[in-house]
Amino acid sequence: MSKFEKQAHKSHNTMNRKLTSGILVSVLLLLFGFTTIHPEFQNAFNSREEGDSYKVYALKLPVTLDFSGEEVPLNAPDIRERLDKELLVNTYWQSNMMLLLKRAHKWFPTIEAILAEEGVPDDFKYLAVIESGLENLRSPKGAKGFWQLMPGTAKEYGLEVNSNVDERYHIEKSTRVACKYLLKAKKRFGSWTLAAASYNRGMYGTHKLLDKQLVQDYYDLLLNTETSRYVFRILAVKEIMSHPKRYGFIFEETDLYQPIPVKKLGWDVPIANIAEFAQEKGINYKLLKIHNPWLIENHLNNNSRKYYEIAIPEEGHY
């Protein structure tokens, strides 16, 4: 081996040792450096002593739980297991739950106000959480918006749905449609829990199952996997989001997403070019679309002179 080759070999070995040492230090920091839990911090996990390595802990189920004032029969083994499953899934999917907590701070005030106005229990805001994660999503089956409304249901309850305007993406209007559906379901079943289940299963499908199985309660029904989990997902999200520190989610208000104040501009004529319209209003195309996602194209037809309210963000927030 030449002198040059020996030098290169020695440098390579030194570099490998430094890299290995760096990785080892990083692993030790992850294992021991971030696991100290202050005594005053109490949550649903077993307390960990200083120096404990990261472990996954079983959760303590709440002693009592209700949905919209209707008690959950936690004494039944299958009910406890179904709740435990959803609590574990939503607690240990930490990144997703933290995002939900951040988004809720931005969107819950709007949803809560409409639910109260329409006479629907506040707990139904968690239904929107499990349906869409508080995002304007589109499902493979064609449901859209925070409340994942299908086109037929949206039109039945008065929303405009076409290639130019899709009001399923309008947070206020879609929330009121969801309320109308839930109020109708509550009247039919006499139970808010069954009304929530029917949002997933449909009113007809839910009624047919109740008749077939000769029961009157959601918790007594034998259901398909999706509807069987549906209410328990709502319950788990409600429990965690109502007591985030108990489940290990630590944040300050400044960490959360903030609602953006807007002014509503009444409009009842066509808009030839939304990008130009946005510039005229002192914003850009992106911001106008963020606050009005129901405007689908780069123009608004409106030959019928329908009255719309277009949200314009107030100055100083972008």
pLDDT for 43 equals 65
| Beta-sheet pairing, 308-313 with 262-267 | antiparallel
What is the tens place of the pLDDT at every residue in 237-291?
Answer: 999 999 999 999 999 999 999 999 999 999 999 999 999 999 999 999 999 999 9
pLDDT for 270 equals 98
Element (H, E) at 67: strand 66-67
What is the tens place of the pLDDT at every residue in 84-99?
Answer: 999 999 999 999 999 9
pLDDT for 6 equals 45
Q: Rg for the chain (alpha carbons), in Å?
A: 26
pLDDT for 100 equals 98
pLDDT for 21 equals 53
Q: What angle do CA 251, 252, 258 make, to 5 degrees?
A: 110
Q: What is the DSSP letter of 58?
A: P
Report residues of the chain scoring pLDDT below 50: 2-11, 15, 18-19, 25-41
Q: Which of 152, 146, 151, 153 is nearest to 169 (CA)?
A: 146
Kindly give, in sequence order, each residue whose CB lies less than 8 Å from that of residue 274, ignoring residues fewer than 6 positions away.
285, 288, 289, 295, 297, 298, 299, 300
Alpha-carbon distance of 273 to 110, in angstroms, equals 29
Q: What is the DSSP letter of 264?
A: E
pLDDT for 34 equals 42
Cβ neighbours, 10 Å, residue 81: 11
First to last CA, the chain: 64
pLDDT for 55 equals 85
Alpha carbon 35 to its chain centroid, in Å, reads 28
